[in-house]
Amino acid sequence: MNDLIERLAICLERGKVNRSSPHPPDLKDQDGADELTRQALDDGISAETVLADGLIVGMTRVGKKYSEGKAFVPDLLMAAKAMKAAMAHLKPYFESGQTHHRGTFVIGTVEGDLHDIGKNLVAMMLEGGGYKVIDLGVNVPAAKFVQTVQENPGCSVGLSALLTTTMVNMEKIIKAIHEVSPATPILVGGAPLTDDFARRINATAYAPDPQGALDYLSAATS
């Protein structure tokens, strides 16, 4: 069993989606996250174990490599695809209540900004980390964030911006959310941001990369 779970973790780390996917070249014609997850469940391994000891472990490894510059955007996106393939098998267990999410994370790129790659990476890293992710897309106005927060009590929020000209919109969104829900943790991230800026606009935390967002939430909710 351990071998199977470890192989699954490697599929996540290396972005091996399924048997027929050509990436990465050295794992060609081997089972991917798709097949191995099915097999693990068929072998009677619990969905919880598959998620916690296989998928999340692999995701964390690629996230760490990303933080060190050893992995990059395409690696994370391939890992996300592998995750998605695995989650398709796990979904029935989550829905039947046999297992549960670690929390809900609402994410969006702020008003005026259309960039979504960074936001997508964070979304998939958190999904991989066991969170239910509500992705509001790009160019999201404050009212939409507020409404979603009200509909999902206890959720955390992530705000993304790539432009110097749009990151300033984060401040008013944070203000609007905290007016209706002062305790909601709000993480901010994006290329032009700094820790300093995050503090100035009263964000709960600044996440320099996707792994940073996951680490923060894990620490805050554990």
Q: Which of 26, 29, 42, 68 binds other proteins (CB under 8 A)?
A: 68
- Is 141 a binder of other proteins (CB under 8 A)? no
Element (H, E) at 134: strand 132-135
Q: Which of 30, 49, 139, 181 binds other proteins (CB under 8 A)?
A: 139
- Is 216 a binder of other proteins (CB under 8 A)? no
Q: Which of 1, 74, 88, 137 binds other proteins (CB under 8 A)?
A: 74
Instruction: Extract the tokens encoding 19.
Output: 């048997």
Q: Identify which of residues 6 and 116 has a Cβ nearer to other proteins in the complex.
A: 116
Nearest one of 142, 141, 134, 20 to 85, comparing CA atoms: 20
* Torsional class of 155: left (φ above 0), alpha (ψ -120 to 50), beta (otherwise): beta
Q: How far is CA 147 from the centre of its chain?
A: 21
Residue 184 CB, nearest approach to other proteins (Å): 25
- Is 197 a binder of other proteins (CB under 8 A)? yes
Rounded Cα distance, 108 and 200, in Å: 20
Contact residues for 213 (Cβ-Cβ < 8 A; gap 6+): 122, 125, 126, 158, 187, 189, 207
Q: Which of 45, 71, 124, 149 binds other proteins (CB under 8 A)?
A: 71
Q: Identify which of residues 35 and 111 has a Cβ nearer to other proteins in the complex.
A: 111
Contact residues for 210 (Cβ-Cβ < 8 A; gap 6+): 63, 66, 76, 121, 122, 124, 125, 126
Q: What is the DSSP letter of 25?
A: G
Q: Identify which of residues 38 and 65 has a Cβ nearer to other proteins in the complex.
A: 65
As a residue count, the chain comes to: 222
- Is 75 a binder of other proteins (CB under 8 A)? yes
Stretch that binds other proteins, among 86-94, 126-134, 149-157, 160-168 (CB under 8 A): 160-168
Q: Identify which of residues 73 and 220 has a Cβ nearer to other proteins in the complex.
A: 73
* Contact footprint for other proteins (CB under 8 A): 68-75, 77, 111-117, 120, 139, 163-166, 168-169, 192, 194-197
